[in-house]
Structures are given as structure tokens and as C-alpha cells.
């Protein structure tokens, strides 16, 4: 059954890093844009459009960050769960191997 299902926890870690990089880049872009004031660009109409864009960009990037954070927490939780299952399975297999080895050497008690 195991050959049909595999989880690469390293890939989950790489995905988490990608998500974290996305949040960082969104924050950097918003920060860079926050220093540009609409009154520095040109006409009143253009200034209003730029201010409106800044407001929408801020709201949208904050919402995107919330979604990315939620996804990141889910991936972190899944990664941790898979790692715990792998450790428990490894320990169980070692225990079975040790018992089988000791039983084969006369320690079986039958």
C-alpha cells in the first residue's frame, strides 16, 4: 500500500518557503508604493486614481497575506503530522525487527 502513497516533506518545506517569500514580496511592494504620494504624479484626476489604487492595493495585499498565512499554517500542520507518522512508523518497524531478531535467536519464549 505504501508504494501508492508518498508525501515528500521536503517539498512541503519548500512550498512553505515559497509562501513566506510571497508574503515578504507583497509587503515589500506595498512598502515601496506607500512612499509615492499621488500629489507627486500629476493631475488631480490621476492623483485620485493613484490614491484609490493605493487603498485597494493595501486591502488586497492584506487579504492575500491572510489567505497565505492560513494556507501556510495548514501546510505546516500537515508537514508536522507526516513527520510524526514517519517517526512513529520507523520506531514501530525497528521494534518489530528487534523482536523478530530476538525470537529467531531463541528468545521467543515458546
Q: What is the pLDDT of residues 19-42, one digit of tens each?
A: 888 888 888 877 776 666 656 666
Q: What is each CA distance from 32 to 28, 50, 75, 101, in whole angstroms?
A: 6, 14, 29, 65
Closest C-alpha among 26, 20, 12 to residue 64: 26
Which of the four pLDDT bands, split at 50, 70 and 90, describes residue 10?
Answer: confident
CATH of domain 11-100: 1.10.287
If one compares 1 and 85, the residue with the highest pLDDT of the two is 85
CA angle 17–87–100, rounded 5-degree value: 155
pTM: 0.59
Contact 40, 54 (CB under 8 A): no
pLDDT value of position 94? 93
Mean pLDDT of 71-91: 91
Amino acid at each position: 500500500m505504501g508504494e501508492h502513497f508518498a508525501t515528500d516533506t521536503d517539498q512541503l518545506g519548500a512550498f512553505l518557503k515559497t509562501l513566506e517569500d510571497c508574503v515578504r514580496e507583497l509587503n515589500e511592494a506595498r512598502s515601496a508604493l506607500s512612499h509615492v504620494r499621488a500629489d507627486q504624479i500629476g493631475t488631480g484626476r490621476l492623483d485620485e486614481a493613484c490614491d484609490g489604487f493605493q487603498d485597494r492595493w493595501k486591502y488586497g495585499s492584506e487579504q492575500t497575506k491572510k489567505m497565505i498565512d492560513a494556507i501556510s499554517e495548514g501546510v505546516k500542520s500537515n508537514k508536522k503530522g507526516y513527520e510524526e507518522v514517519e517517526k512513529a512508523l520507523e520506531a514501530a518497524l525497528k521494534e518489530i525487527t528487534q523482536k523478530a531478531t530476538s525470537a529467531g535467536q531463541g528468545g521467543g519464549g515458546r
